[in-house]
Amino acid sequence: MHLNSLLVMEIPKPPKKNKPSQLKNAAMLSGIAFQMGAIIYFANKGGLWLDSYFKTTNEIFMIIATLLGVAISIWVVVLQLKKIKY
């Protein structure tokens, strides 16, 4: 081998991994918490409105709407957690 060929040789670099930033994941998780709270809050308010509109005394619409809001918010959380890359 010649001295020139040794000087020209380069050491191969390992391929870069596209690792998602932890800050982005933290932002997504905090956004999920706000979405979950908003869904449950508005479902509850909608149930209260239905109870006042239909003049129910046992607040059945509020209970059903709140439980439905909790179920929807859990479903939304599961969908968004699938998008997060670790």
User: What value does the mean pLDDT of the chain take?
Assistant: 86
29 belongs to a structural domain: no
Query: Could you tell me which of 25, 30, 67 has the C-alpha nearest to residue 46?
Result: 67
Q: Which amino acid is at 40?
A: I
Average of pLDDT values for 11-25? 72
76 belongs to a structural domain: yes
49 belongs to a structural domain: yes
Q: Check residue 61 and give its pLDDT.
A: 97
5 belongs to a structural domain: no
The count of domains in the chain is 1
Q: Check residue 67 and give its pLDDT.
A: 98
* Chain centroid to CA 12: 39
Per-residue pLDDT reduced to its tens digit, 64-78: 999 999 999 999 999
pTM: 0.72
Range of the domain at 64: 35-86
Q: Check residue 51 and give its pLDDT.
A: 97
